[in-house]
Amino acid sequence: MADDQDAKRWDELRAAMERGGPKDVIRTIESIPDLETRRTAYAAAQKGFGRRDWAGKNFDALIEVVNAGIQESLRQAGEAEAADAAWKLTEFANILSYNLTADLAECWPEDATPRERRHIEAGLRAAEDCVRWRRELGKPPDRRAMAYWGVGMHQLSLGSLHESIGAFDTASGLARVAVIGTGRDEVRAGSEFGVILYAGYAGIVRWRLGDPKGRAEYEQACEAFEGSVAKFPEQKEDAEFGLAQLRYVARKFSPEGDAVGAR
C-alpha cells in the first residue's frame, strides 16, 4: 500500500513539474491541507526530482522545490507550540537540506551530470545550514561530520582548497571522536566508514595543494576500504561505495586526474 501511495505521489509531482515547472510543483504541494502530508510530499519531491528520470530534468528545478520544502518546514517549526515538535520540524528541514547537498555534489561515479557554479554554491549553502542546524539540534559527532563533508566537497568543487581541507579535517576529527575507544578510529581495514572516507577526501585536497603526504593519505584510505571489502563481509557494500567515491573524486580533482583512481 505504501509503495502504491509513493508511486501515485511521484506521478502527481512529476506531472506537475512537466506541466508547469517547479512553481507548479510547489503550488501542488502547498495545496495539501494536512501539514505532515505536505512535508512528506516535499520529501518525495526531493527524492524523485533528485534521483529519478523526468522530462527536462535539471538542478535548478530541484533546488527551487527543495528550498520551498525547507522553508515550509521552518515555518511550521516557528509556529509549533511544543519544543519537541519544533525540534522535529527543524530536523526535517535539516534532512531535506543535507539530501540537497548530496544531490548537488560532484562525487558520485554514477552521476557525471555537469553542475554549474550556481548549483555548487546552492549545495554549499545547504551544507552550511546543516552544520548550523546539527549543532543547534545537538546531533552526535558522526552526523555533524556528514555536514562538514558537504561543505568540504562543495568548496573543493569551487576551488576553495584551504576552506575545503578545513572542513574535511573537521569531519575527520568528528568521525574519530564518534568511535574513540572502539579501535575503529584509525584509517585501516575494518575501521569506521566515515573515519576512512573523510581521511581520503582530506588526502585528495592536500595532494591538490601540493602536499606530498596527500596522495599517501588518499592511497591509505583506498587500501583501508579494499581491506574492509576483503576481510569484513558486513562492511563490503559500504566499503565498495566509499572506495568508488574516493577514486572518482581523485580522478576528477587530483593533480594527476585520470592517471589515478581507476585501479
pLDDT digits (tens, 9 = 90+) for 116-126: 999 999 999 99
Write down the pLDDT at residue 262. Answer: 46
* pLDDT tens per residue across span 49-59: 999 888 889 99
CB contact at 8 A, 120 and 159: no
Residue extents of the structural domains in the chain: 1-104, 142-263
For cell 572506495, what's the residue?
243
From CA 176, how far away is CA 190, in angstroms rounded? 14
Q: What is the pTM of this model?
A: 0.94
Say if CB 97 and CB 133 are below 8 A apart.
Answer: yes
Q: Is the pLDDT assigned to residue 258 strictly greater than 90?
A: no
Nearest residue to 50 (alpha-carbon basis) of 117, 93, 100: 100
- Structure confidence at residue 143 as a pLDDT band (50, 70, 90): very high
Q: According to the model, what pLDDT value does residue 260 have?
A: 61
Q: Is the pLDDT of residue 261 over 60?
A: no
Per residue in 13-71, pLDDT (tens digit) is 999 999 999 999 999 999 999 999 999 999 999 999 999 888 889 999 999 999 999 99
Q: Does residue 230 sit in helix, strand or coil?
A: helix
Could you report the per-residue pLDDT of 188-233, keeping only the tens digit for each?
Answer: 999 999 999 999 999 999 999 999 899 999 999 999 999 999 999 9
**Whole-angstrom Cα distance, residue 1 to residue 30?**
24
Rounded to the nearest angstrom, the gap between the alpha carbon of residue 178 and the centroid of all alpha carbons in its chain is 19
